[in-house]
Amino acid sequence: MSTHRILVIGGYGFFGARLVQLLSRQPGLHIFIGGRSVPKAEALAQQLRPTADSQLDAQAIDIASPALAATLTALRVDTVVHTAGPFQGQDYHVAQACIDAGANYIDLADGRDFVAGIGALHGAAAQAGVLVTSGASSVPALSSAAADRLAAGIARVTEIDIGISPGNRTDRGLSTVAAILGYCGQPLPGGASGKTIGWLGTYEHRYPAPVGRRLLSPCDVPDLVLLGPRYPGAPLVRFGAGLELRLLHRGMNGMALLAHRGLVRNWSRHAPLLKRMADWFRHMGSDAGAMHVRVTGVHRDGAAVSSSWSLVAAAGDGPFVPTLAAAALVRRLAAGEPFQPGASPCLGLLSLADFEREAAGLNITMKSAAADA
């Protein structure tokens, strides 16, 4: 088997470093840890080399450079994984550079417009014979894989309910905080009369132990516009995210109200300060987080049906969850499995079995059951 050459952009960052750690367990890869700081990339490579099954090298990469495509060509990269968010507000120049260089492109984006719009590159990607996919993350890649399994055999899906709640002691990246704050108090697609507002309104969901009951509030994700048309019945899609500490969660509700009333234009401008403030409470709560998907509908025999899937991440391993999809795609690409060339959101490319394989060895468990929340 020939070596598959991988460039992870943002490879020493919050999610990038975790992805590189997962990829380093796969034999037959040559992983370039990409970013502006070669010393930071080399430090991660040195940390992982003693136990790595793949080759690791540091690589200077500036995604704003007009020579990006030429750099990818010179490196003879087979696949690029873009982890340097937030993706809200980015364009597709990195993906286009990959197409120009004849390399596959995968990103960990969860910005609704960014992920949903990647199809604009479909013609160019198909002509170049490469896979370009956006949203290889918890949403929509993992959430849709769970929904696909739960919706199998359902004649008409009426509702898909998704939620994520990380543990308070779990690490969180600044770009993730900024992305969440960007839609706090802003209108979201879907919902009753189209009046759903980001982080405004609260409900509860009970997760398996040790997570238990968590508050959730509406959040903006690609699933809100991608999952409804995917299933028979054009179901209503609801997505909620929550903070383990109710004090912080209620604080987000209050911030959403201020933004909704026009008193604050965009909370993401204050992301560094608000992250520091939230970190004052890092000693509280737990390092356990969870995710759920529940599908409700009507079976072929006319009977109502509702089933759910849940994931629990403990021991601080929650931040690995958004990297599982990219690790699974790289594994399959390196094995020579054919993917239809073109550009699309990361839907239907992976099964739950793919995620379970990448989660092996981590404190991450998944299970399906009758919906009971």
Identify the CATH number of the domain in which residue 151 sits. Answer: 3.30.360.10
Within 13 Å and on the Cβ side, how many CA atoms surround 7?
30
* C-alpha of 214 from chain center: 20
Same domain, 231 and 183: yes
- Upstream peptide bond of 86 is cis (omega within 30 degrees of 0): yes
CA–CA distance, 15 with 8 (Å, rounded to integer): 10
CA–CA distance, 153 with 121 (Å, rounded to integer): 33
Within 13 Å and on the Cβ side, how many CA atoms surround 193?
1
Same domain, 306 and 328: no
pLDDT on residue 373: 41
pLDDT on residue 192: 42
Same domain, 165 and 304: yes
Same domain, 294 and 159: yes
* C-alpha of 345 from chain center: 12
List, as own/partner pairs, every contact residues 119-123 make where C-beta atoms lie below 8 angstroms and the sequence separation is at least 24, other chains included. 119/343, 119/344, 119/345, 120/92, 120/343, 121/92, 121/95, 121/96, 121/343, 122/342, 122/343, 122/344
pLDDT on residue 190: 65
CB within 8 Å of 30: residues ≥ 6 apart = 3, 4, 5, 6, 54, 55, 57
Same domain, 281 and 156: yes
Identify the CATH number of the domain in which residue 98 sits. Answer: 3.40.50.720
Q: pTM of this prediction? A: 0.93
How many CB atoms lie under 10 A from the CB of residue 262?
Answer: 8
CA–CA distance, 117 with 111 (Å, rounded to integer): 10
Same domain, 295 and 345: no
Same domain, 248 and 308: yes
Helical pair 174-182 and 271-279, crossing angle rounded to 10 deg: 120
List per-block mean pLDDT (blocks of 10 residues) for the chain, which spans 373 residues. Answer: 92 96 97 97 98 97 94 97 86 97 97 95 98 97 97 94 94 82 88 73 95 96 95 94 95 95 92 91 93 95 92 95 98 94 97 97 89 44
Same domain, 299 and 267: yes
pLDDT on residue 370: 59
How many structural domains compose the chain? 2
Same domain, 37 and 183: no
Same domain, 41 and 31: yes
pLDDT by residue (tens digit) across 164-205? 999 998 877 788 888 889 889 999 986 544 579 999 999 999
Same domain, 156 and 277: yes
* C-alpha of 209 from chain center: 23
Same domain, 114 and 225: no
> How many residues would you count in the chain?
373
Full domain range(s) for residue 160: 139-316+363-370
In the numeric block, the tokens 């516009």 are attached to: 225
CA–CA distance, 124 with 342 (Å, rounded to integer): 7
CA–CA distance, 174 with 277 (Å, rounded to integer): 12
